[in-house]
Structure 1
Amino acid sequence: MNSSLLIEKMDLYRDWLKIAKHRLTACGFDISQLVHDEEVSLEYFNVLLHLTIPIQPRQVFYADAFSCPPELQAGLLAFIERIESGRNLRPHMSRGVKKVANRDALRYDWGIHHFHLGATLAPDGFVTRTEPILFAWVAHNAVYMLGLYPHGAWSQQEVLQVLYRNWPALLSPYTIKGASLTHILTDQEVALARKAGVTVAFQVAEGVAVVPPGGGMPTSKHSFRAVRDSDKLHDNLDSMMEQLRDPTSAFMQEYERKGVFKKRTLSFSLVEHSDGYSLVEKHNNLYFKVGGIPSLPLPTMVVNH
């Protein structure tokens, strides 16, 4: 009869934080000012959700009133070529994406990116800055060109209205059904609400209101989506550790029945490899695939092409 299992102390969340720090550093972000674990996790998800765009080919669609001034046509064509050929869009993004704690209220609130349409690359790999700038909705396999706006038009609600007028299905998940707003915010009020960390609804058409399609921002000015995903991962890793510490849990009992725990002292840790994450039990040399943990692309996947 097998002896009782002895589970050594583990901290899967701490293991993941080490991985997150390595990824952020490898991607060129300075994390020296991130003192607390929660900050590391939040900024990891901020980078993943808002400062990087997965590299893959996408179709390009244009809003009904889209136009581009002649002096930016060359930059626009170069940007479109990048989109359709699946090249890195980072050179056209704000230089703020180089900063781990970059805050982008437009992305956080409305889920909209802004891009520069310079035609030449500067030494740091970014195209020359332009005015006006392109606002676009970036989906998994498409980019929806909304229009060109002055730099600083971050709270101009016309942008959301253009998105809804042309592609209402994109905002369908965020539409408040059967509701109308008693007060229609001005663009200035939208900016003030963001500054205060207040989440508000927006009218995109007569009788049509939406909650922030980007998720919005709490008073900390972080992205709600980053906060949510960070908290969810923490909870999931805590739950995983509870199962590993309990010899009677379904997970442990399944592998007990299979007889894989030849050595009865177990030591679990979380590791990252080329295609995801695994739990490693070092005494028995066991690996268990772990899903649900997003990976920040390493530099070989995010360099300019």
Structure 2
Amino acid sequence: MKLIMDFKADWHDTLKEIMSNEWGMDTAGLTTDVPVHYFNAAQRRIPVRPRTLLISDTFQCPAEHQAGWELIQQKVKAGQDLTPHLSKFIEKTKKKDLMLNDWGVHHLHLGTLIENGFVERADPLLFARITDEYFYAIDVYDHASWTNGEIVETVHRNWPESVAHWVIQGVKGERHSDEERAALRKVHMNAFFLTNDQTTYGPLGGGTVASGHNIFSVIQMDIEHDRLECLERRLFEITDEVMPELKKAGYTDAAEVTAKLVLTEGFYAAFFPEYRLLVNFYPRTT
């Protein structure tokens, strides 16, 4: 019996379903680069969970936007969805966020009235670094502040432990102006950041590849593709163990059998569509 399978293609289809059905994205035209767009889109979103709110020593919110700031604080602590405060481009499949790639900083709108799923758009914006556990409120900036060096200086001064793994030891970075940083981002080039106290950081957001996507999007795709190739070999190796179940489901002597990858709760599974048989064959760790 020959197993016919393409787990990479199956995984790509699963990612497209998530992007389309859960995130409202148009996935038409995506081909072998589906995972890069998926991970890039996931990075721009903020998973819904409660977080500890930390506010910088220089944080100031204009009085006219205080209600919006209080609404965001409430949502952060309660673990409510922050998507309405994000850019409307969050639904654009191929959109990149260059500040997020470079510094790991999200920008959120401070409106309170929701229209078509998003709060009203206006200056200024709240800039924040967001992890699974913490919401680091950096400050409120205008739309021209994407490369303002004070953003990184504030993170470094207030929460150095949160970005310590990005410190470059034994190397002194070059100090760039805001305009130079903007020019580097425009051509998708990465640069170190030298703080006022001479600490050198690599890109706090991971960095950008030539396509403008976050480098982690490409790394995660490569890791998963390698895993899927291993899973195909694994399923082939355990064919004799699966055969009794296939025979119960109606297999006799077909020369070829198609297997599709399915992600079940806690397992990678193989689905044999001709026999409507689902077999969990390898545990998922994430």
Give the TM-score, by structure 1 length.
Answer: 0.83
What is the DSSP-based 3-state SS (H/G/I as helix, E as strand, rest coil) of the residue aligned with 2:119? coil
Alignment match, 1:43 = 37
Q: Cα RMSD over matched residues?
A: 2.0
- Whole-angstrom CA distance in 2 between matches of 1:143 and 1:285: 41
Give the one of 7, 10, 21 matched to 1:12: 7
Alignment match, 2:24 = 28
Give the one of 110, 128, 131 matched to 1:139: 131
With over 3 angstroms needed to count, the CA separation of the structure-2 counterparts of 1:235 and 1:116, relative to structure 1, is: same
Q: Which runs of 5+ in 1 are unaligned?
A: 1-5, 294-305
Please say if residues 261 and 271 of structure 2, whose CA atoms lie closer than 8 Å, have aligned partners that are also in contact.
no
AA paired with 1:231?
D
Shift of 1:97: 0.4
Alignment match, 2:202 = 211
> Pairwise mapping of residues 1-305 of structure 1 onto structure 2 (< 5 A)?
6-26=1-21, 27-34=23-30, 36-38=31-33, 40-50=34-44, 52-122=45-115, 124-181=116-173, 183-245=174-236, 247=237, 252=238, 259=241, 261-262=243-244, 263=247, 267-273=258-264, 275=265, 277-280=267-270, 282=272, 285-291=278-284
- Whole-angstrom CA distance in 1 between matches of 2:54 and 2:195: 20
The CA deviation string for residues 100-122 of structure 1, in whole angstroms up to 9 with x for no partner, is 11110011111110001012111
Please say if residues 46 and 223 of structure 1, whose CA atoms lie closer than 8 Å, have aligned partners that are also in contact.
yes
Shift of 1:267: 4.6
Alignment match, 1:298 = none
With over 3 angstroms needed to count, the CA separation of the structure-2 counterparts of 1:276 and 1:120, relative to structure 1, is: farther
The CA deviation string for residues 51-103 of structure 1, in whole angstroms up to 9 with x for no partner, is x2111111111100111110000110011111111100001111110111111
AA paired with 1:23?
I
- Whole-angstrom CA distance in 2 between matches of 1:281 and 1:233: 19
What is the DSSP-based 3-state SS (H/G/I as helix, E as strand, rest coil) of the residue aligned with 1:134? strand
Q: Which runs of 5+ in 2 are unaligned?
A: 248-252
With over 3 angstroms needed to count, the CA separation of the structure-2 counterparts of 1:292 and 1:224, relative to structure 1, is: farther
AA paired with 2:183?
L
The CA deviation string for residues 99-155 of structure 1, in whole angstroms up to 9 with x for no partner, is 111110011111110001012111x11111121111001111210110011113111
Shift of 1:288: 2.3
- Whole-angstrom CA distance in 1 between matches of 2:126 and 2:40: 22
- Whole-angstrom CA distance in 2 between matches of 1:164 and 1:68: 20
Identity %: 30
The CA deviation string for residues 266-304 of structure 1, in whole angstroms up to 9 with x for no partner, is 65321134x3553225367522244256xxxxxxxxxxx
- Whole-angstrom CA distance in 1 between matches of 2:68 and 2:53: 15
Give the TM-score, by structure 2 length.
Answer: 0.89
- Whole-angstrom CA distance in 1 between matches of 2:260 and 2:221: 19
- Whole-angstrom CA distance in 2 between matches of 1:231 and 1:242: 17
Please say if residues 270 and 277 of structure 1, whose CA atoms lie closer than 8 Å, have aligned partners that are also in contact.
no
What is the DSSP-based 3-state SS (H/G/I as helix, E as strand, rest coil) of the residue aligned with 2:230? helix
Shift of 1:239: 2.2
Aligned length: 273
AA paired with 2:133?
N
With over 3 angstroms needed to count, the CA separation of the structure-2 counterparts of 1:13 and 1:260, relative to structure 1, is: closer
**What stretches of structure 1 move > 6 A for 4+ residues in a row?**
none
